[in-house]
Structure 1
Amino acid sequence: MDSEILDRETGGDISGEVGVNYGRLGTNLPPPRISVRLIQSLLKAKRVKIYDANAEILEALRNTGIQVSIMLPNELVVNASTNQTFSNQWVRSSIVPFYSETLIRYLLVGNELISSTGGDISGEVGVNYGRLGTNLPPPRISVRLIQSLLKAKRVKIYDANAEILEALRNTGIQVSIMLPNELVVNASTNQTFSNQWVRSSIVPFYSETLIRYLLVGNELISSTGNETWAHIVPAMHRISHSLKVFRLHKVKIGTPHAMDVLQSSFPPSNGTFRNDIALPIIKPMLHFLHKTRSFFFLDVYPFFAWASDPTNINLPYTLFESRNITVTDSLTGLIYTNLFDQMVDAVYFAMKRLGYPGIRIFIAETGWPNGGDLDQVGANVHNAATYNRNVVKRLTQKPVLGTPARPGLVLPAFIFSLYNENLKPGLGSERHFGLLYPNESRVYDIDLSGRTPESELAPVPPAMDYKGKAWCVVAEGANVTEVAAALSYACSQGNGTCDPIQPGNPCYKPDSVTGHADYAFSAYWAQFRRVGGTCFFNGLATQTAKDPSKFCFAELVNLQSGFVIGLFLIISLK
């Protein structure tokens, strides 16, 4: 190869001069104009590498004679690999404006991608493996079901359970584990504790189990008092240090958030974090995520948004089934065809508003309940299968769709959840998010890999919502001692809730704990359902559509009309 060809193919510079890497993960760094002057005057460098294509730096490098290496950030690599239009647009905006006067000679595609991402930034959908149930299969069987029935390549667990991690050894399944909420304060204040937890929870499994994400708590801002919030980011830093101590370089750190971290979310471009957390909690967290190239983990549940306002939010739009309904963001002109994208983009805009537009989102939880309380409209197998199949189809589609605000950007995700979990508190829907029943059978057919054509998935029953009367009664097999305590609680709430079952009153007979609790549970539910009261009582109660008229009883709701019709006496004919 002669010198003319060499000059043409290498930009005329294959010298051995040493350059400098110009990183910007600091809060107190000089601006690019001064930094470039320092590179020239103090370091006398003729080469510089930057970790993106920052316009201000490239502007400062114009006509300096410094050879420049720029970088396509890790989070954009998948987009560029699957979408030529995206690639063209990135080059047009990042290189073309500077090329004639800035010596851009190298474009690096990502940075230590295999080491920093574990080799996997795909959009494959995983599953959340919760264990709040009394009748769930053991981990060994559960992992087999995750592989064989769901075809999932990712799983998220809510602790660092050794039996589960053992079952996941050598399976090729990427794993997210969690530091439980109750340990976050300890980890944030005690480096020794953090080190010991990482040593015992991760180190024994790391070499043969693909642990790639360590989540610090779960929805801490939503589920704990504000005295805990200030510990979140320090805990993330200490855990990060512990990972470095044990050379666990492939594990990223994050923490999942519910949508209530936003103060405003509509239109999406108006997405804003709450005032009480934006600057003291979220901004330092975003700085950590940016510095470590991790994700903002987000729980996205269009079901709850729709259920809170079914009159104004269209159900097909929520299920990705809308054919003629769109929502236009009046500030950006972006057009939305589903509620999921709206919710995700609101968070992207909120992060941008705090100065971190490049942080990617990882969907920590999304899903739809396959059942619920008798009065929970929309919680059924049909809607659950429709939503989850559509979200998998959308997230695994090639080329990558992304969202209107981040087109072509991969959204890794976990569906909630593996099983229906009968110990989860709250409304009945909380116990019916599973893809599988505890008996190991499917609730409905779904392939989380997205590779099975929809036409080959088993059909699901039509959407059926119960319309009629409902009662709240003691669950079969409930512990009588615990029922007695729940009865006492129910009677202590409201105004005269249990007067009819007091001695001498019409409903006192028969005098039994279960009989009185049947009445009290229904009376409580009748009074407090509208303000969040549930028929659960820590698993001691259940709803029934069958009139239990053993004696005086409280009828709760006419579900067809949807309003409380009050309490009245039902006299047993026995």
Structure 2
Amino acid sequence: MALRHLFAVAVAVAALALDVAAASGGSAALGVNYGQVADNLPSPQAAAVLLRALNATKVKLYDADARVLSAFAGSGVDFTVGLPDNMVPRLASDPSAAAAWVRTNILPHLPATSITAVIVGNEVLTGSDATMLRSLLPAMQSLHAALAACNLTSRVAVTTAHSLAVLSSSFPPSSAAFRHDLLPYITPLLAFLAKTGSPFLVNAYPYFAYKADPGTVDLDYVLFEPSAAAVVDSATGLRYGNMLHAQLDRGRRARRDLRRRLRAGGGDPGVGDRVAVAGGRRRGRRHAAERGQVQREPDAAGGAGEGHAGGARGAAAGVRVRPVQRGPEARAGVGAALRPVQAGRRGGIRRQRQGADDQRLEG
């Protein structure tokens, strides 16, 4: 029964990923978040068979469960594994703990299982634990050093996942900036990510914006429907064909804003500007909003202006199925203030997708 339920959820996610790909003219890349906080789950072996049948190529695992990683040996699926919050202070203060974690959770599975990144903690910077805030970057540095000692830094990235609540504004994307109170933590963290070539990950939840304010937010805009009315950033002329691309562009523009301010103040601007959805790792590729669905408004003379993209790959690789949220802004969604030019159509398969989006893999 559980396998059938997981199959139904995964098929719904696959359908959404394919729709995103079709909308942007790209090929589908299906990513799945593999949660295990639930009853009557299929075995890792059964889950591996299912995901291979769906041609899933990316999996985010919330821990580094050896049973799951072993079950996917030889599958060609790229795994992002998680290091839990409660281990962050220990790794920050004890480099030998980081080395032991790598020996136990990474080395036994390579190269049979592809592990491409470790996410250290989840939404730490928007939590209330001061010790965690101080420990996050040292823990990431410690883990990176442990991977370097094993010659794995070119294969396995070290990063962390952020709530979009690290940003101080919701709309338009061009106004995005990091919260001033977080700058002492996020500035050196971004420099570390840029230096190591690791992605800046955000937990983006477009559907929760609709759920929080269905009278204002267009469901079609949230679900990547081609018929959705685009939202225009009047400061840049960029048109956003769906909410996910607008959310991701906020992260990218916040990094650019910080880099500009550091440069103006004579500081080190090396904070990068690549942003990816936390469910899927995309090193060395352009941000989703540069590949298809984000476009400039025509200029006064009727010209098309500079084009931007929004690819399906980043969005599809990061599709979540009812993730657990932290904090009121994360649950409400950061796009609640977006106002499409016209209301989109609702009903039919759109409502079915809404139902699928409300499922959980992690219980």
Q: Structure 1-normalised TM-score? A: 0.45
Amino acid paired to 1:414:
G
How far apart, CA to CA, are the structure 1 residues paired with 2:232 and 2:353? 31
Amino acid paired to 1:200:
T
Superposition deviation, residue 326 in structure 1: 2.4
Offset from partner CA, 1:77-122 (integer Å, 9 cap, x none) = xxxxxxxxxxxxxxxxxxxxxxxxxxxxxxxxxxxxxxxxxxxxx9
SS of 1:276's equivalent in the other structure is: helix
> For the Cα contact (< 8 Å) 1:199–1:246, is it kept in 2?
no
Residue number in structure 2 paired with 1:326: 230
Superposition deviation, residue 299 in structure 1: 1.1
Offset from partner CA, 1:215-242 (integer Å, 9 cap, x none) = 1112222355233112111111100000
Residue number in structure 1 paired with 2:330: none
Q: Is 1:401 equivalent to 2:292 in the alignment? A: yes
Q: Is 1:359 equivalent to 2:273 in the alignment? A: yes
Superposition deviation, residue 414 in structure 1: 2.4
In the TM superposition, what are the counterparts of 1:142-291 in structure 2 within 5 Å?
142-148=47-53, 150-223=54-127, 225-249=129-153, 250-277=155-182, 279-291=183-195
How far apart, CA to CA, are the structure 1 residues paired with 2:70 and 2:354? 41
Offset from partner CA, 1:33-78 (integer Å, 9 cap, x none) = xxxxxxxxxxxxxxxxxxxxxxxxxxxxxxxxxxxxxxxxxxxxxx
State percent identity of aligned pairs: 33
Q: Is 1:140 equivalent to 2:45 in the alignment? A: yes
Q: Is 1:306 equivalent to 2:210 in the alignment? A: yes
> Which one has a larger percent helix, Structure 1 or Structure 2?
2
Superposition deviation, residue 365 in structure 1: 3.9
Residue number in structure 1 paired with 2:242: 338
Superposition deviation, residue 157 in structure 1: 0.2
SS of 2:122's equivalent in the other structure is: coil
Structure 1 residues 129 and 326: alpha-carbon distance in aligned structure 2, compared to 1, 3 A threshold: same
How far apart, CA to CA, are the structure 2 residues paired with 1:336 and 1:233? 33
Larger RCO (alpha carbons 8 Å, 6+ apart): 2
> For the Cα contact (< 8 Å) 2:89–2:131, is it kept in 1?
no
How far apart, CA to CA, are the structure 2 residues paired with 1:260 and 1:159? 23
> For the Cα contact (< 8 Å) 1:154–1:173, is it kept in 2?
yes
How far apart, CA to CA, are the structure 1 residues paired with 2:97 and 2:118? 16
Structure 1 residues 190 and 315: alpha-carbon distance in aligned structure 2, compared to 1, 3 A threshold: same
Structure 1 residues 335 and 464: alpha-carbon distance in aligned structure 2, compared to 1, 3 A threshold: closer
Structure 1 alignment gaps of length 5 or more: 1-121, 367-394, 427-458, 467-538, 540-574
How far apart, CA to CA, are the structure 2 residues paired with 1:461 and 1:323? 12
How far apart, CA to CA, are the structure 1 residues paired with 2:175 and 2:291? 25
Superposition deviation, residue 329 in structure 1: 1.1
> Which is higher, the Rg of structure 1 or of structure 2?
1
Offset from partner CA, 1:269-304 (integer Å, 9 cap, x none) = 001111211x21111111011101111111111111
Superposition deviation, residue 464 in structure 1: 11
Amino acid paired to 1:214:
V
Structure 2 alignment gaps of length 5 or more: 1-26, 260-269, 281-285, 297-306, 327-347, 356-362
How far apart, CA to CA, are the structure 1 residues paired with 2:173 and 2:233? 7
Offset from partner CA, 1:485-530 (integer Å, 9 cap, x none) = xxxxxxxxxxxxxxxxxxxxxxxxxxxxxxxxxxxxxxxxxxxxxx
Amino acid paired to 2:292:
L
> For the Cα contact (< 8 Å) 2:238–2:294, is it kept in 1?
no
> For the Cα contact (< 8 Å) 1:294–1:359, is it kept in 2?
no
Amino acid paired to 2:206:
P
How far apart, CA to CA, are the structure 2 residues paired with 1:197 and 1:283? 26
Q: Structure 2-normalised TM-score? A: 0.69
> For the Cα contact (< 8 Å) 1:126–1:415, is it kept in 2?
yes
Superposition deviation, residue 207 in structure 1: 2.2
What is the aligned-residue RMSD (CA, Å)?
Answer: 3.1
How far apart, CA to CA, are the structure 2 residues paired with 1:307 and 1:211? 34
Structure 1 residues 333 and 462: alpha-carbon distance in aligned structure 2, compared to 1, 3 A threshold: closer
How far apart, CA to CA, are the structure 2 residues paired with 1:409 and 1:360? 13
How far apart, CA to CA, are the structure 1 residues paired with 2:130 and 2:137? 13
SS of 1:416's equivalent in the other structure is: coil
How far apart, CA to CA, are the structure 2 residues paired with 1:154 and 1:145? 13
Amino acid paired to 1:233:
L
Superposition deviation, residue 319 in structure 1: 1.8
SS of 2:318's equivalent in the other structure is: strand
Structure 1 residues 179 and 271: alpha-carbon distance in aligned structure 2, compared to 1, 3 A threshold: same
How far apart, CA to CA, are the structure 2 residues paired with 1:216 and 1:357? 19
How far apart, CA to CA, are the structure 2 residues paired with 1:465 and 1:218? 25
Structure 1 residues 316 and 201: alpha-carbon distance in aligned structure 2, compared to 1, 3 A threshold: same
How far apart, CA to CA, are the structure 2 residues paired with 1:365 and 1:329? 26
> For the Cα contact (< 8 Å) 1:187–1:193, is it kept in 2?
yes
Structure 1 residues 265 and 227: alpha-carbon distance in aligned structure 2, compared to 1, 3 A threshold: same
